């Protein structure tokens, strides 16, 4: 990781109704490359499942979920079971907590094999998440566009998430803003996204 004193967020990326800080790359290129390879090979990836409009679907995107406890978490209508922390995820989590001055007890990991895989507009408003808590998003691999859309005004904003970068969403962001990872035909490389979260209402 870069020296914490050298890591400063840009001003709040959102114009109103929430807080998003983008720190840019917080890991050195060497560490980011190494972490990306290790996570790709070392995590227990599986195809994601979701209930959408009453239908049970399986996505091309793969996920893995890790946490402090072997608890359950409802995401996209599916109960998911946390795995014990992978050692590298713990290292990354400690770095993210030092930078953000936040604490997290779980991590939802996403693997996008190429640009054809993305996420539609949504907000992370699951009832199990800490209300108005921080969600830290770390990117390894392909640089991808990431968007925000206000639920009422429909204003949209986009930024590029770089290899080894950190983005923090907190406060009322999930109440008022949707976010997405749009698909693209221009990207052929994989992207790993680590979203560190705080789960409060969990089942052991």
pLDDT in tens, 125-183: 777 889 999 999 999 999 999 999 999 999 999 999 999 999 999 999 999 999 999 99
Tokens matching residue 173: 């962001």
CA angle 27, 28, 31 (to 5 degrees): 85
Phi, psi of 179 (to 5 degrees): -140, 160
Give how far the C-alpha of residue 100 lies from the chain's centroid of Cα atoms, to the nearest Å.
Answer: 14
* Residue 77 neighbours by CB distance under 10 Å: 12
- Residue 110: half-sphere exposure toward Cβ, Cα within 13 Å: 19
Q: How far apart are CA 16 and CA 10, in angstroms?
A: 15
CATH of domain 4-197: 2.60.120.590
Tell me: the pLDDT tens digits for 94-120? 999 999 999 999 999 999 999 999 999
* pLDDT given at position 47: 85
Between the two ends of the chain, the Cα-to-Cα distance in Å is 33
Give, in order, the Cα–Cα distances in Å from 42 to each of 36, 64, 102, 114, 143. Answer: 10, 11, 26, 19, 21
Question: Over the chain, what is the mean pLDDT?
Answer: 89
| C-alpha radius of gyration, the chain, whole number | 16
Task: Find, among 191, 204, 31, 18, the residue nearest to 111 by Cα.
Answer: 191
Q: Kindly state the average pLDDT of the residues 21-48.
A: 95
pTM of the model: 0.90
């Amino acid at each position: 990781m870069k020296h914490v004193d050298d890591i400063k967020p840009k001003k709040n990326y959102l114009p109103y109704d929430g807080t998003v800080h983008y720190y840019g790359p917080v890991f050195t290129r060497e560490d980011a490359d190494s972490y990306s390879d290790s996570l790709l090979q070392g995590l227990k990836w599986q195809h994601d499942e979701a209930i959408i409009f009453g239908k049970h679907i399986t996505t091309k995107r793969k996920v893995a979920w890790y946490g402090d406890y072997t608890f359950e978490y409802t995401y996209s209508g599916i109960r998911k079971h946390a795995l014990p922390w992978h050692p590298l995820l713990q290292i990354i989590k400690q770095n993210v907590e030092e930078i953000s001055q936040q604490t997290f007890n779980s991590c939802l990991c996403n693997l996008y094999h190429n640009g054809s895989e993305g996420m539609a507009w949504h907000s992370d408003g699951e009832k199990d998440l800490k209300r108005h808590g921080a969600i830290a998003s770390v990117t390894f691999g392909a640089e991808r566009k990431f968007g925000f859309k206000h639920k009422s005004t429909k204003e949209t904003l986009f930024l590029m998430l770089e290899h080894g970068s950190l983005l923090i969403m907190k406060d009322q962001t999930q109440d008022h803003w949707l976010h997405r990872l749009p698909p693209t035909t221009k990207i052929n490389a994989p992207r790993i996204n680590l979203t560190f979260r705080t789960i409060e209402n969990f089942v052991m």
